[in-house]
A and B are shown apart, each in its own frame.
Chain A
């Protein structure tokens, strides 16, 4: 599937697409062309992964959706309305966690609500709930440097969940975390999201991770970033995590994507 296959979009976005990007082009400088006419829609309540080799502009696209970067051309729609800059309906989970080193786990998890000036007692209560949800109960008064990488990212996730936005934007959230923690984290994330009804846009360069967590995988080709193809993995998510990782469809999808992407490595 090439770019042209997804360019035909109705003027009014379909109601089940919570985020839509139209014709996004990004130049960092005249000769650094990061993204070229990207059109994409993200279905509500689903997990979409942006996958591709390094330099394909996946993080750039995510930051444009987040409103942290201005596209050179094109528009971003959230809930059918064009947005400029950041907004309360989108929360970001950072690759390097972006925790305040001088603040406790509790204050970090509540920081999004602190910025929007919510009542201290309320926001701490909410933060405690999500600290508990991500499995960090008992660590509320620790500082980030006292936590492992995986635990720090759990704080980052709790902070993003606590602001109650519809869309979670995750920028390679597990890349700074070791492989064992990463797998556990992927499983925990899926469990957690089952009850949260969030739309997730997830950036990764790990094919296994993309296939394991996503409902929809958008593969980007590099320099400049373009949509190469869109894949909807088809295997049952009801099964045990161990069984999913051994499922034939899961493994086939991983292989198919790998066969597709390896040409960019030559």
Chain B
């Protein structure tokens, strides 16, 4: 079987992004176009105006840059990122460990699944007063709010991904003398990585919701305070600027996670890009 002729003629996978426009790929062009269209629609809606509480895009950007340069935004984010960072780190490390254990072991599943299903199904905003009752109004309470929102998504996604690992790959590992540890580390976890990372991205986004909720409902600090303060004094441009940064920050964070995933866990995806 030394000739490759039968197989070598197989054409390369077609690449979808080969057309270019103004030196960028068509996909990138459409991405930018959609953002521009949204901003123009926003500007028009603000000029009409559809509501006196709805500022224009340019006004919002002016307010955004003002807050950026006078440092208000910076201090607000430092305040917000503390509970978010701690909460996400705890949710990710414990969440992935618990999720993997649940996927591999029925007893772990029996113990943890009800807790996280209840947490995921419950309206956490309604539970935030309870958090205040138990943990006061400090950093701990906000961190707990982040964990309550982020961890169920991370745990349940990890658990499902591990439980539904490709049985044929597991058989393959066993038939070639793989140990149980190799089976988990070299096959099950990499196989589950795409869904685990999807859970992680959703979990980080949910954690962001948690910290903003806590700042709106528990103590007016950080970005939540920027939003609620400017709303209360009817400075809608500043309020929307703060909301805009939250969306932007969340999108950047999620994009960053995706980069990490592709770089370290999905080499086959990296090559296709």
> Interface on A for B, CB 8 Å cutoff?
63, 66-68, 86-88, 90-92, 94, 96, 98, 100-102, 104, 111-112, 114-116, 132-139, 143-148, 150-151, 154, 159, 163, 181, 184, 188-189, 191-192
Contact = CB atoms under 8 A, between A and B. Distances in A.
A101 B268 contact: yes
Contacts of A67: 174-175
A63 B171 CA distance: 10
B7 A135 contact: yes
A163 B178 CA distance: 13
Contacts of B265: 102
Say whether chain B's binding surface is mostly helix, strand, loop, or mixed: helix
B190 A188 contact: no
Contacts of A191: 1
B1 A133 contact: yes
A256 to B, nearest CB: 30
B106 interface: no
Contact of B174 (A86, A148, A150, A188): A86
B34 interface: no
B182 interface: yes
A98 B169 contact: yes
A88 B177 contact: yes
A91 B176 contact: yes
A51 B266 CA distance: 39
Interface string B1-41: 11110111010110000000000000000000000000000
A149 to B, nearest CB: 10
B187 interface: yes
A104 to B, nearest CB: 8
B2 A135 contact: yes
Contacts of A114: 186
A68 B175 contact: yes
Contacts of A86: 174-177
A87 B177 CA distance: 7
Nearest to A116: B177
Contact of B6 (A91, A92, A144, A181): A181
User: What 7 pairs across the A-B complex have the smallest Cβ distances?
Assistant: A143-B268, A188-B1, A98-B172, A112-B176, A92-B175, A115-B178, A98-B168
B191 to A, nearest CB: 8
Given A136-B7, A148-B7, A102 B266 contact: yes
B7 A90 contact: no
A11 to B, nearest CB: 29
A68 B10 contact: no
B171 A98 contact: yes
Given A86-B174, A100-B169, A151-B7, 8 more contacts: A66-B175, A67-B175, A88-B177, A94-B168, A104-B267, A133-B2, A147-B10, A154-B1
